[in-house]
Amino acid sequence: MRTILKKLLQIPSVSGREARLGEYIAGEMQPYFDTVETDALGNVLCRKRGEGKKLLFCAHMDEIGFIVTFIEEDGYLRCAPVGGIDFHAAAYSKVVFENGRYGVLIPEEGTKPEDYKGDAFVVDIGAKSREAASCLVKVGDCFALESSMVSLAGGRICGHPLDDKLGCAILMSAAGDAASFQNDITFVFSVQEEVGLRGARTAAFQAEPDFGIAVDVTLTGDTKGAKPMAVSLGKGAAIKLQDKSVICDGYLAEKMARIAEEKGISYQKEILTAGGSDTAALQLAGAGCRAGCVSIPLRYCHSGVEMADSKDIQACRDLICAIAQTKF
Protein backbone atom coordinates (compact mmCIF):
# COMPACT_ATOMS: atom_id res chain seq x y z
CA MET A 1 0.00 0.00 0.00
CA ARG A 2 2.75 2.49 0.90
CA THR A 3 4.53 1.76 -2.36
CA ILE A 4 1.35 2.52 -4.28
CA LEU A 5 0.73 5.68 -2.26
CA LYS A 6 4.29 6.92 -2.75
CA LYS A 7 3.95 6.50 -6.49
CA LEU A 8 0.63 8.40 -6.55
CA LEU A 9 2.11 11.25 -4.50
CA GLN A 10 4.83 11.70 -7.12
CA ILE A 11 2.37 12.41 -9.95
CA PRO A 12 0.87 15.93 -9.80
CA SER A 13 -2.90 16.12 -10.25
CA VAL A 14 -4.31 19.54 -9.37
CA SER A 15 -8.05 19.63 -10.16
CA GLY A 16 -8.56 19.79 -13.92
CA ARG A 17 -5.05 18.46 -14.54
CA GLU A 18 -5.51 14.81 -13.58
CA ALA A 19 -4.68 13.29 -16.98
CA ARG A 20 -1.18 12.01 -16.11
CA LEU A 21 -2.33 10.39 -12.89
CA GLY A 22 -5.37 8.93 -14.63
CA GLU A 23 -3.17 7.37 -17.29
CA TYR A 24 -0.95 5.79 -14.65
CA ILE A 25 -3.87 4.42 -12.61
CA ALA A 26 -5.64 3.09 -15.73
CA GLY A 27 -2.49 1.17 -16.66
CA GLU A 28 -2.13 -0.31 -13.19
CA MET A 29 -5.79 -1.38 -12.99
CA GLN A 30 -5.92 -3.10 -16.39
CA PRO A 31 -5.08 -6.62 -15.10
CA TYR A 32 -7.82 -6.66 -12.45
CA PHE A 33 -10.90 -5.53 -14.40
CA ASP A 34 -12.85 -6.46 -17.54
CA THR A 35 -12.78 -2.91 -18.86
CA VAL A 36 -10.83 0.20 -17.92
CA GLU A 37 -12.01 3.40 -19.60
CA THR A 38 -11.26 7.11 -19.35
CA ASP A 39 -14.34 9.27 -19.94
CA ALA A 40 -14.88 12.72 -21.44
CA LEU A 41 -13.91 14.52 -18.22
CA GLY A 42 -10.95 12.26 -17.43
CA ASN A 43 -12.54 9.96 -14.83
CA VAL A 44 -11.09 6.43 -14.90
CA LEU A 45 -13.84 3.78 -14.75
CA CYS A 46 -12.75 0.19 -14.01
CA ARG A 47 -15.47 -2.40 -14.29
CA LYS A 48 -15.62 -6.05 -13.29
CA ARG A 49 -18.90 -7.44 -14.55
CA GLY A 50 -20.84 -9.70 -12.25
CA GLU A 51 -24.24 -10.98 -11.26
CA GLY A 52 -26.65 -8.90 -9.23
CA LYS A 53 -26.46 -5.33 -8.01
CA LYS A 54 -24.13 -2.70 -9.38
CA LEU A 55 -21.75 -1.30 -6.77
CA LEU A 56 -19.59 1.71 -7.50
CA PHE A 57 -16.61 2.78 -5.37
CA CYS A 58 -15.19 6.23 -6.01
CA ALA A 59 -11.99 7.94 -4.85
CA HIS A 60 -10.93 11.29 -6.30
CA MET A 61 -7.62 11.68 -8.07
CA ASP A 62 -7.43 15.44 -7.90
CA GLU A 63 -5.58 17.41 -5.26
CA ILE A 64 -5.92 21.05 -4.22
CA GLY A 65 -3.39 23.45 -5.67
CA PHE A 66 -2.95 26.75 -7.45
CA ILE A 67 -3.16 28.21 -10.95
CA VAL A 68 -0.91 30.97 -12.31
CA THR A 69 -3.01 34.03 -13.15
CA PHE A 70 -0.41 36.64 -14.04
CA ILE A 71 3.33 37.16 -14.40
CA GLU A 72 4.63 40.44 -12.96
CA GLU A 73 7.30 42.63 -14.64
CA ASP A 74 9.83 41.60 -12.00
CA GLY A 75 9.28 37.87 -12.46
CA TYR A 76 7.01 37.14 -9.49
CA LEU A 77 3.90 35.09 -10.29
CA ARG A 78 0.36 35.81 -9.13
CA CYS A 79 -1.90 32.84 -8.52
CA ALA A 80 -5.41 31.76 -7.53
CA PRO A 81 -6.31 28.79 -5.34
CA VAL A 82 -7.80 25.68 -6.97
CA GLY A 83 -9.91 24.08 -4.24
CA GLY A 84 -9.91 24.84 -0.52
CA ILE A 85 -6.42 26.19 0.11
CA ASP A 86 -5.61 27.32 3.65
CA PHE A 87 -3.09 30.10 3.02
CA HIS A 88 -1.92 30.05 6.63
CA ALA A 89 -0.84 26.46 6.17
CA ALA A 90 0.61 27.12 2.71
CA ALA A 91 2.62 30.29 3.43
CA TYR A 92 6.39 29.98 2.91
CA SER A 93 6.08 26.49 1.40
CA LYS A 94 7.95 25.03 -1.51
CA VAL A 95 5.68 24.54 -4.51
CA VAL A 96 6.20 22.38 -7.59
CA PHE A 97 4.94 22.93 -11.13
CA GLU A 98 3.88 20.16 -13.48
CA ASN A 99 7.15 20.47 -15.38
CA GLY A 100 9.06 19.81 -12.14
CA ARG A 101 10.10 23.44 -11.62
CA TYR A 102 10.20 24.71 -8.02
CA GLY A 103 9.06 27.96 -6.44
CA VAL A 104 8.17 29.33 -3.02
CA LEU A 105 4.79 30.75 -1.99
CA ILE A 106 5.30 34.00 -0.11
CA PRO A 107 2.89 36.58 1.35
CA GLU A 108 3.62 40.19 0.38
CA GLU A 109 5.74 41.95 3.02
CA GLY A 110 3.63 43.36 5.83
CA THR A 111 0.54 41.23 5.17
CA LYS A 112 -1.25 40.54 8.43
CA PRO A 113 -2.07 36.86 8.99
CA GLU A 114 -5.79 37.69 8.97
CA ASP A 115 -5.38 39.00 5.40
CA TYR A 116 -3.78 35.80 4.11
CA LYS A 117 -5.63 35.02 0.90
CA GLY A 118 -4.79 34.48 -2.77
CA ASP A 119 -4.40 38.16 -3.69
CA ALA A 120 -1.78 38.74 -1.01
CA PHE A 121 0.58 36.00 -2.21
CA VAL A 122 3.23 35.73 -4.88
CA VAL A 123 5.32 32.83 -6.11
CA ASP A 124 9.05 33.40 -6.40
CA ILE A 125 10.53 30.95 -8.89
CA GLY A 126 13.89 32.70 -8.92
CA ALA A 127 13.24 34.48 -12.23
CA LYS A 128 14.53 38.06 -12.48
CA SER A 129 12.04 39.31 -15.07
CA ARG A 130 8.74 38.59 -16.80
CA GLU A 131 10.69 37.40 -19.84
CA ALA A 132 12.75 34.97 -17.78
CA ALA A 133 9.70 33.68 -15.90
CA SER A 134 7.68 33.28 -19.10
CA CYS A 135 10.25 30.83 -20.44
CA LEU A 136 9.60 28.55 -17.47
CA VAL A 137 5.88 28.89 -16.68
CA LYS A 138 2.79 30.18 -18.46
CA VAL A 139 -0.41 31.79 -17.26
CA GLY A 140 -2.80 28.89 -16.61
CA ASP A 141 -0.08 26.48 -15.41
CA CYS A 142 -0.92 24.66 -12.19
CA PHE A 143 1.24 23.92 -9.18
CA ALA A 144 0.88 22.40 -5.72
CA LEU A 145 2.72 22.20 -2.43
CA GLU A 146 5.68 19.86 -2.68
CA SER A 147 4.53 16.29 -2.09
CA SER A 148 6.04 14.30 0.75
CA MET A 149 5.52 11.30 3.00
CA VAL A 150 7.25 10.34 6.25
CA SER A 151 6.60 7.63 8.86
CA LEU A 152 5.79 8.70 12.39
CA ALA A 153 5.52 6.79 15.66
CA GLY A 154 2.88 4.12 16.13
CA GLY A 155 2.35 3.33 12.46
CA ARG A 156 1.19 6.80 11.55
CA ILE A 157 2.12 8.50 8.32
CA CYS A 158 2.32 12.17 7.53
CA GLY A 159 2.51 13.86 4.15
CA HIS A 160 0.79 15.58 1.31
CA PRO A 161 -1.55 15.26 -0.53
CA LEU A 162 -3.10 12.32 1.28
CA ASP A 163 -6.51 13.81 0.36
CA ASP A 164 -7.44 11.74 -1.59
CA LYS A 165 -4.47 9.84 -2.98
CA LEU A 166 -4.85 7.71 0.11
CA GLY A 167 -8.35 6.77 -1.08
CA CYS A 168 -7.00 6.02 -4.55
CA ALA A 169 -4.22 3.87 -3.07
CA ILE A 170 -6.74 1.95 -0.95
CA LEU A 171 -8.91 1.20 -4.00
CA MET A 172 -5.87 0.20 -6.06
CA SER A 173 -4.75 -2.13 -3.31
CA ALA A 174 -8.27 -3.57 -2.95
CA ALA A 175 -8.31 -4.23 -6.71
CA GLY A 176 -5.79 -6.99 -6.00
CA ASP A 177 -8.67 -8.96 -4.45
CA ALA A 178 -11.00 -8.35 -7.42
CA ALA A 179 -11.18 -12.09 -8.21
CA SER A 180 -13.18 -12.60 -5.00
CA PHE A 181 -15.68 -9.76 -5.63
CA GLN A 182 -19.38 -10.54 -5.89
CA ASN A 183 -21.85 -8.14 -7.55
CA ASP A 184 -21.12 -5.98 -10.58
CA ILE A 185 -18.26 -3.76 -9.44
CA THR A 186 -16.99 -0.44 -10.79
CA PHE A 187 -14.04 1.43 -9.30
CA VAL A 188 -14.01 5.09 -10.28
CA PHE A 189 -10.99 7.34 -9.93
CA SER A 190 -12.70 10.70 -10.27
CA VAL A 191 -11.65 14.20 -11.31
CA GLN A 192 -12.48 17.68 -10.02
CA GLU A 193 -13.82 16.73 -6.58
CA GLU A 194 -12.08 19.65 -4.91
CA VAL A 195 -13.77 22.19 -7.19
CA GLY A 196 -17.39 21.09 -6.71
CA LEU A 197 -17.78 17.28 -6.67
CA ARG A 198 -17.81 17.31 -10.47
CA GLY A 199 -16.25 14.18 -11.94
CA ALA A 200 -18.16 11.70 -9.79
CA ARG A 201 -21.40 13.05 -11.17
CA THR A 202 -20.70 12.23 -14.82
CA ALA A 203 -19.04 8.92 -13.91
CA ALA A 204 -22.08 7.78 -11.93
CA PHE A 205 -24.36 8.94 -14.76
CA GLN A 206 -22.63 6.44 -17.05
CA ALA A 207 -22.20 3.60 -14.58
CA GLU A 208 -25.78 3.80 -13.22
CA PRO A 209 -24.94 2.05 -9.94
CA ASP A 210 -27.47 0.71 -7.43
CA PHE A 211 -25.06 1.59 -4.62
CA GLY A 212 -22.48 4.37 -4.78
CA ILE A 213 -19.71 4.43 -2.17
CA ALA A 214 -17.17 7.22 -2.01
CA VAL A 215 -13.76 6.56 -0.49
CA ASP A 216 -12.38 9.81 0.85
CA VAL A 217 -10.73 11.35 3.89
CA THR A 218 -12.59 12.91 6.81
CA LEU A 219 -11.63 15.22 9.65
CA THR A 220 -11.16 14.05 13.23
CA GLY A 221 -12.15 15.38 16.64
CA ASP A 222 -8.88 14.46 18.34
CA THR A 223 -6.62 17.35 17.35
CA LYS A 224 -5.80 20.10 19.86
CA GLY A 225 -8.69 22.56 20.01
CA ALA A 226 -10.79 20.58 17.52
CA LYS A 227 -14.55 20.97 17.39
CA PRO A 228 -16.23 17.98 19.02
CA MET A 229 -16.44 15.16 16.48
CA ALA A 230 -16.82 11.45 17.13
CA VAL A 231 -14.02 10.36 14.81
CA SER A 232 -10.49 9.68 16.03
CA LEU A 233 -7.29 8.64 14.34
CA GLY A 234 -6.63 4.91 14.82
CA LYS A 235 -10.17 3.90 15.72
CA GLY A 236 -10.94 2.33 12.36
CA ALA A 237 -12.70 2.99 9.09
CA ALA A 238 -15.28 5.78 9.34
CA ILE A 239 -18.72 5.03 7.94
CA LYS A 240 -20.21 8.35 6.91
CA LEU A 241 -23.75 9.20 7.97
CA GLN A 242 -23.71 12.81 6.93
CA ASP A 243 -21.54 15.70 5.81
CA LYS A 244 -22.27 19.21 4.57
CA SER A 245 -23.08 17.95 1.07
CA VAL A 246 -25.07 14.80 1.75
CA ILE A 247 -27.21 12.70 4.05
CA CYS A 248 -26.12 9.16 3.35
CA ASP A 249 -28.50 6.34 2.63
CA GLY A 250 -29.46 4.79 5.97
CA TYR A 251 -29.85 1.26 4.66
CA LEU A 252 -26.41 1.28 3.04
CA ALA A 253 -24.68 2.80 6.09
CA GLU A 254 -26.23 0.14 8.36
CA LYS A 255 -25.34 -2.63 5.92
CA MET A 256 -21.71 -1.45 5.83
CA ALA A 257 -21.60 -1.36 9.65
CA ARG A 258 -23.02 -4.93 9.86
CA ILE A 259 -20.44 -6.18 7.37
CA ALA A 260 -17.66 -4.56 9.45
CA GLU A 261 -18.97 -6.23 12.61
CA GLU A 262 -19.26 -9.65 10.97
CA LYS A 263 -15.70 -9.47 9.66
CA GLY A 264 -14.26 -7.94 12.85
CA ILE A 265 -13.16 -4.77 11.09
CA SER A 266 -12.86 -1.78 13.42
CA TYR A 267 -15.12 1.09 12.39
CA GLN A 268 -16.58 4.33 13.68
CA LYS A 269 -19.59 6.34 12.56
CA GLU A 270 -18.92 9.74 11.08
CA ILE A 271 -20.89 12.97 11.02
CA LEU A 272 -18.87 15.74 9.40
CA THR A 273 -20.15 19.28 9.89
CA ALA A 274 -17.75 20.93 7.43
CA GLY A 275 -16.82 19.85 3.94
CA GLY A 276 -18.46 17.70 1.29
CA SER A 277 -17.62 14.57 -0.65
CA ASP A 278 -18.28 12.81 -3.95
CA THR A 279 -21.01 10.91 -2.05
CA ALA A 280 -23.40 13.79 -2.83
CA ALA A 281 -22.66 13.65 -6.56
CA LEU A 282 -23.09 9.86 -6.66
CA GLN A 283 -26.43 10.11 -4.88
CA LEU A 284 -27.94 12.56 -7.37
CA ALA A 285 -26.43 11.53 -10.71
CA GLY A 286 -28.86 10.25 -13.33
CA ALA A 287 -31.83 8.62 -11.65
CA GLY A 288 -29.92 8.58 -8.34
CA CYS A 289 -28.61 5.73 -6.20
CA ARG A 290 -28.19 4.67 -2.59
CA ALA A 291 -25.02 6.48 -1.56
CA GLY A 292 -22.54 6.16 1.28
CA CYS A 293 -18.89 6.72 2.05
CA VAL A 294 -16.01 4.87 3.65
CA SER A 295 -13.92 7.66 5.16
CA ILE A 296 -10.28 7.60 6.16
CA PRO A 297 -9.70 9.65 9.34
CA LEU A 298 -7.17 12.38 8.60
CA ARG A 299 -5.67 15.05 10.80
CA TYR A 300 -4.59 18.48 9.45
CA CYS A 301 -6.52 18.05 6.20
CA HIS A 302 -5.53 20.34 3.26
CA SER A 303 -2.16 21.17 4.84
CA GLY A 304 1.28 19.94 3.84
CA VAL A 305 1.35 17.66 6.89
CA GLU A 306 -1.84 15.58 6.61
CA MET A 307 -1.68 12.65 9.02
CA ALA A 308 -3.27 9.20 8.87
CA ASP A 309 -2.98 5.93 10.80
CA SER A 310 -1.99 2.67 9.08
CA LYS A 311 -4.58 0.76 11.13
CA ASP A 312 -7.36 2.94 9.71
CA ILE A 313 -6.00 2.60 6.20
CA GLN A 314 -5.96 -1.19 6.55
CA ALA A 315 -9.47 -1.17 8.05
CA CYS A 316 -10.79 0.88 5.12
CA ARG A 317 -9.21 -1.50 2.64
CA ASP A 318 -10.62 -4.52 4.47
CA LEU A 319 -14.08 -2.98 4.68
CA ILE A 320 -14.16 -2.11 0.97
CA CYS A 321 -13.13 -5.67 0.05
CA ALA A 322 -15.70 -7.13 2.47
CA ILE A 323 -18.47 -4.95 0.97
CA ALA A 324 -17.49 -5.95 -2.57
CA GLN A 325 -17.44 -9.61 -1.51
CA THR A 326 -20.90 -9.47 0.10
CA LYS A 327 -23.82 -10.30 -2.15
CA PHE A 328 -26.07 -7.21 -2.24
Partner 1 sequence: MYPDTKELVASLASIMSISGQEERGREALCSLLQPYFDEYIPDPSGTHIFVKRSGRENAPKLLLDAHFDEIGMMVRDITEEGFLRVVSIGGLDRRILPAAEVLIYGKETLYGVIGAVPPHLQKAGDHKKTPKIEDLLIDTGYDGETLRSLVDIGTPVGFYEKTASLLGSRICGRSMDNKACCAAAVLGAAMVKKEDMAWDLYVTLSAREEVGMASGCSAAAYRIRPDAAIVTDVTFAAAWGVREDESGKMGAGPVLSLSAVTDRRLTEGLLQLCGLRDIPCQTCVDACDTGTNATMLSLVGAGIPTAVVSVPITSMHTYNETVDTVDIEHAAALFAAAAGEGGLHP
Q: Which of 5, 8, 17, 165 binds partner 1 (CB under 8 A)?
A: 17
Nearer to partner 1, 197 or 319 (CB): 197
Beta bridge mates, 237: 267
| Span from 171-179, 198-206, 292-300, 317-325 in contact with partner 1 (CB under 8 A) | 198-206
The CA-CA-CA angle for residues 48, 256, 45, to 5°, reads 25
Write out the binding residues for partner 1, residues 20-39 only, by CB under 8 A: 39
In the bound state with partner 1, the residue whose beta carbon lies nearer, of 16 and 209, is 16
Binding piece for partner 1, criterion CB under 8 A, among 122-130, 161-169, 199-207, 303-311 = 199-207
Decide whether 15 or 186 has the Cβ nearer to partner 1. Answer: 15
What is the nearest approach in angstroms of partner 1 to the Cβ of residue 140? 3
Residue 228 burial class via C-beta count within 10 angstroms: exposed 0-12, middle 13-18, buried 19 and up:
exposed
**Window 72 to 91, contacts with partner 1 (CB under 8 A):** 78, 80-83
Among positions 192, 220, 277, 314, the unique one binding partner 1 when judged by CB under 8 A = 192
Is residue 195 involved in binding partner 1 (CB under 8 A)?
yes
85 or 294: whose CB is closer to partner 1? 85
Q: In this complex, which beta carbon is closest to partner 1, that of residue 141 or of residue 306?
A: 141
Binding-residue pattern over the window 126 to 155 for partner 1, x denoting contact by CB under 8 A: -------------xx-x-------------
The yes or no reply on residue 243 touching partner 1 (CB under 8 A) is no
Closer residue to partner 1 (CB): 296 or 301: 301
Catalytic residue list contains 193: yes
Nearer to partner 1, 202 or 279 (CB): 202
* Spatial separation of the C-alpha atoms in residues 27 and 298, rounded to whole Å: 28
**Considering Cα of 249, then 255, then 258, then 264, what sign does the dihedral take?**
negative
Distance CA 322, CA 237 (A): 12
- 257, 299 in Cβ contact below 8 A? no
Is residue 47 a contact residue for partner 1 (CB under 8 A)? no
Number of residues that bind partner 1 (CB under 8 A): 31
Verify binding: residue 70, partner 1, rule CB under 8 A.
Answer: yes
Applying CB under 8 A, among 30, 69, 99, 129 the residue interacting with partner 1 is 69
Determine which residue in the list 43, 147, 186, 232 makes contact with partner 1, applying CB under 8 A: 43
Does residue 319 touch partner 1 according to CB under 8 A?
no
Active-site option among 193, 194, 270, 306: 193
Told to check if 53 binds partner 1 by CB under 8 A, we report no
Q: Which residues bind partner 1 (CB under 8 A)?
A: 14-17, 19, 39-41, 43, 67-70, 78, 80-83, 139-140, 142, 192, 195-196, 198-199, 201-203, 205-206
Could you list the active site residues?
193
